[in-house]
Amino acid sequence: MPIDVIQFFLVVITTANAGQLCLNCKAVPQPLDCTDVVECGNHESCYTQRFITYDGITLFNVGCRDHDQCRANPGRSVGDVNICTRCCNNTDVCNLDQLCSSEAFAPKPGHVLCFSCPYSLVQPTQCHRITLCGQDKQCSITTTRNLLNEKRYQIGCSSNKACQGSGLYCCNNQLCNRHIPTKPIIVNPTSNQHIQVKYHTDVRITCIATGYPVPTIGYEFLHTIPFPTNFARENDNTLLISNYNKENDGSYHCYAVNTIGTAKVEFTIHGTDTTK
C-alpha cells in the first residue's frame, strides 16, 4: 500500500538522545578521586575496573565500555593483574559508587553532585568536570555575554541567596546543571497549513521535538474523540493513519510538552482520489 509521510520539525534546543554520563579516569586510587565525566555512545555502559600494578598498588580505571566487552571476560593487561571489572547503566555516573568493592559515595546531607566549569563555555553541555557542592548551595549555570554580546555559560555551585538573583539558573538534583530548561518552539510548518494526501494510503505524521526536559509528543484530531479506529501511535513521534479515508479529513494538532511549556501547531489534511 502506498505511504504518505508528513514531517513536522521542532527547533533543536538540546540533544534528545544523549548517551549515558560516566566517570572517565585511568589509574586512580578510588573512583571517588575522579572528577572527569564523559558521555558514552549509545552502545556503551559505564564500567569500573580494579587492578593491581606490577609493584602491588591497587588502582581503578573508570569510563565507557561497549556492551559486548562488558559481557566478555576482561582478561589481564600487560604488567597489571585485573581483579574485577563491572559495568552499569542504571544511572548517570553509576561507576562512582561501590563497583568492584570501591568506596561508597556517601555525601553529607545537603550536599549535591554538580558539574563545575568556572570558565566561559559556548554551551553548558561542554562541561565535563564534576564537584560536590556544599550545604546551602545548589548546582548553577551563570549566563554571561562576551564582547560581541554572544551568550556564554559558567557552570558550578552557587549559594541559595545568589540563586534568587537574575542571570542564574539553579537546581538541586544530582548533575542537573548541564542543560538550561527551555520549552519547545515549533518553527515548521506554519499554523493552518493545508496538506493533501491520497485516499486509501497509509499516512504517517511525524513530529520531531527536542528540548530540556525532552518533550513528549502528542496529537489531536479536532473532530473526533477518541481517535478513529484507524489511528495508531507507531512510535513516540509518529502517528499512523492506516487506509486514510474521508472520515479522517479535517484539522489536527501536533504538540510537544515538557515541564517548561507547550508548543502546538494546527494543520488540516484532506484526501483526494486523483494524483496531483
**Alpha-helix runs per DSSP H in 31-158:** 67-71
- Domain extents in the chain: 21-101, 112-171, 184-272
State the amino acid at position 272 in one-letter form.
T
Residue given cell 566549569 in the structure block = 117
Mean of pLDDT over the chain? 86
Cα–Cα distance measured from residue 203 to residue 209, given in angstroms and rounded to the nearest whole number: 20
Which whole number is the average pLDDT over 22-49?
A: 95
Cα–Cα distance measured from residue 129 to residue 38, given in angstroms and rounded to the nearest whole number: 9
DSSP string, 229-242: TTEEE-SSSEEEET
Q: Which residues of 67-224 form beta strands (DSSP E)? A: 81-88, 112-115, 117-121, 130-133, 137-145, 151-159, 168-171, 186-188, 193-198, 202-208, 216-221
First to last CA, the chain: 18
pLDDT at residue 3 tops 70: no
Percentages of the chain per state (helix, strand, coil), in multiples of 5: 10, 45, 45
Q: Which helix (H) or strand (E) holds 39?
A: strand 37-39
pLDDT digits 0-9 by tens, 91-141: 999 999 899 999 999 999 999 999 999 989 999 999 999 999 999 999 999
**What are phi and psi for residue 97, nearest 5 degrees?**
-125, 105
pTM of the complete model: 0.71
**What confidence tier does 14 reach under pLDDT thresholds 50, 70, 90?**
very low
The CATH T-level fold of domain 21-101 is CD59 (2.10.60)
Which region among 35-39, 168-172, 181-185 has the lowest average model confidence (pLDDT)?
Answer: 181-185
Contact between 140 and 168 under an 8 Å Cβ cutoff? The reply is yes
Q: Which is more confidently placed, 199 or 188? A: 199
Q: Which CATH architecture best describes the domain 184-272?
A: Sandwich (2.60)
pLDDT at residue 86 tops 80: yes
pLDDT at residue 12 tops 50: no
Q: How far is CA 187 from CA 60, 86, 107, 205, in A?
A: 48, 45, 44, 16
pLDDT digits 0-9 by tens, 47-58: 999 999 988 999
pLDDT at residue 143 tops 80: yes
